[in-house]
C-alpha cells in the first residue's frame, strides 16, 4: 500500500511538471488564458499532495500570469511561492520564486522591497553566473530609475548591455533601458542613438516590442517635438495591445 501511495504521488508530481511545461510552451498573447488554466491545474495537484516543492513552482508561474493580467492578488501568490520554496530549501525553486517575486515587486513599484531582494540576488549571482547577474542588474536599473537615482540606474544599465554584448545577444529590451536612463539624465543625443539601435534590433525580431519606440517617443518629447512623440507613443500603444499587454 505504501508503494502504491508513492507511485500515485510520483505520478501526480509528474503531472505538475508536465502542466508547468505546458504553461511555458504556450505563446502569448493568444495563449494567456490557456497558460493560466495549466498553472491552476498544477497548483490544484500540488495542493492535493500538500507538497511545498510542487506548490512553489505552480504558484510562481500563476503569480506572474495573474500579475500580467492585472490581478491584485498576484503579489501574495508570489510571496507564497517564495515562502514554499524557502520551506523546502531547494536552491533552484528559491531562485525561480525569487525572480517571479522580484518581477512583480519591480513593476508594482515596491521600490524598497524590490531593491532589497534584487541586491541579494545580485550578490549571489555575481559570484558564479554572469547571466544571472545581468538579470538582477536589469531589474535594479529599473528600480533606481524610478527612485530617481539615475547615475546608479545608468551604471547598472550599461553593465547589463556590456554583458549582453559579451554573450552576443544585444537584446532590444536591454538597450532601450539604456536609452530611457540617458533621456532622464538629459543625454538626449545619446538616448536617441541608443533608442534607434534598439528599435532596429526589435524590427529584426518582428518589431512587436513596444519599449524601443516608447523610449524614442520620450526622447522626442524631451527634445520639444510633441507631434513626433505623440506618434511614437501611439505606435508603442499599438504594439503593446498586439502582444496583449495591459495598462
Q: Is 181 exposed, middle or buried (0-12, 13-18, 19+ CB in 10 A)?
A: buried
The predicted structure's pLDDT at residue 151: 97
Asked whether the beta carbons of 225 and 192 are under 8 A apart, the reply is no
**pLDDT for residue 68:** 83
Handedness of CA 98, 99, 102, 108 (dihedral sign): negative
Helices marked H in 111-244: 111-125, 130-146, 150-166, 172-184, 188-204, 211-222, 226-242
Determine the pLDDT at residue 184.
Answer: 96
| pLDDT of res. 25 | 38
Q: At CB < 8 A and 24+ separation, what contacts does 200-204 make?
A: 201/170, 201/171, 201/172, 201/175, 202/172
Rounded to whole angstroms, the Cα distance separating 173 from 211 reads 7
Round to whole Å and give the CA distance between 141 and 174.
10
pLDDT in tens, the chain (247 residues): 343 333 434 444 444 443 443 334 333 333 444 466 777 777 777 677 777 788 888 888 889 888 988 889 999 999 999 998 898 888 888 888 899 999 999 999 999 999 999 999 899 888 888 888 999 999 999 999 999 999 999 999 999 999 999 998 889 999 999 999 999 999 999 999 999 999 999 998 887 889 999 999 999 999 999 999 999 999 999 998 887 765 5
pLDDT for the residue numbered 246: 58
Amino acid at each position: 500500500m505504501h508503494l502504491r501511495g508513492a507511485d500515485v504521488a510520483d505520478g501526480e508530481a509528474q503531472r505538475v511538471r508536465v502542466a508547468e511545461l505546458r504553461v511555458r510552451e504556450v505563446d502569448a498573447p493568444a495563449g494567456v488564458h490557456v497558460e493560466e488554466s495549466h498553472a491552476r491545474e498544477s497548483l490544484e495537484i500540488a495542493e492535493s499532495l500538500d507538497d511545498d516543492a510542487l506548490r512553489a513552482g505552480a504558484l510562481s508561474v500563476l503569480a506572474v500570469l495573474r500579475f500580467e493580467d492585472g490581478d491584485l492578488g498576484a503579489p501574495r501568490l508570489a510571496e507564497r511561492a517564495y515562502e514554499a520554496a524557502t520551506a523546502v530549501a531547494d536552491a533552484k525553486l528559491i531562485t525561480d520564486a525569487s525572480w517571479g517575486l522580484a518581477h512583480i515587486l519591480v513593476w508594482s513599484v515596491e521600490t524598497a522591497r524590490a531593491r532589497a531582494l534584487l541586491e541579494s540576488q545580485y550578490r549571489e549571482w555575481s559570484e558564479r553566473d554572469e547571466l544571472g547577474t545581468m538579470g538582477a542588474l536589469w531589474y535594479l536599473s529599473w528600480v533606481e530609475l524610478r527612485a530617481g537615482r539615475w547615475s546608479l540606474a545608468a551604471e547598472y544599465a550599461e553593465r547589463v548591455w556590456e554583458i549582453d554584448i559579451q554573450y552576443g545577444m544585444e537584446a532590444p529590451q536591454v538597450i532601450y533601458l539604456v536609452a530611457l536612463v540617458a533621456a532622464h539624465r538629459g543625454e538626449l543625443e545619446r538616448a536617441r542613438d541608443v533608442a534607434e539601435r534598439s528599435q532596429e534590433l526589435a524590427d529584426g525580431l518582428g518589431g512587436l516590442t513596444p519599449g524601443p519606440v516608447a523610449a524614442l517617443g520620450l526622447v522626442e518629447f524631451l527634445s520639444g517635438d510633441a507631434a513626433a512623440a505623440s506618434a511614437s507613443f501611439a505606435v508603442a500603444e499599438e504594439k503593446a495591445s498586439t502582444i496583449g499587454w495591459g495598462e
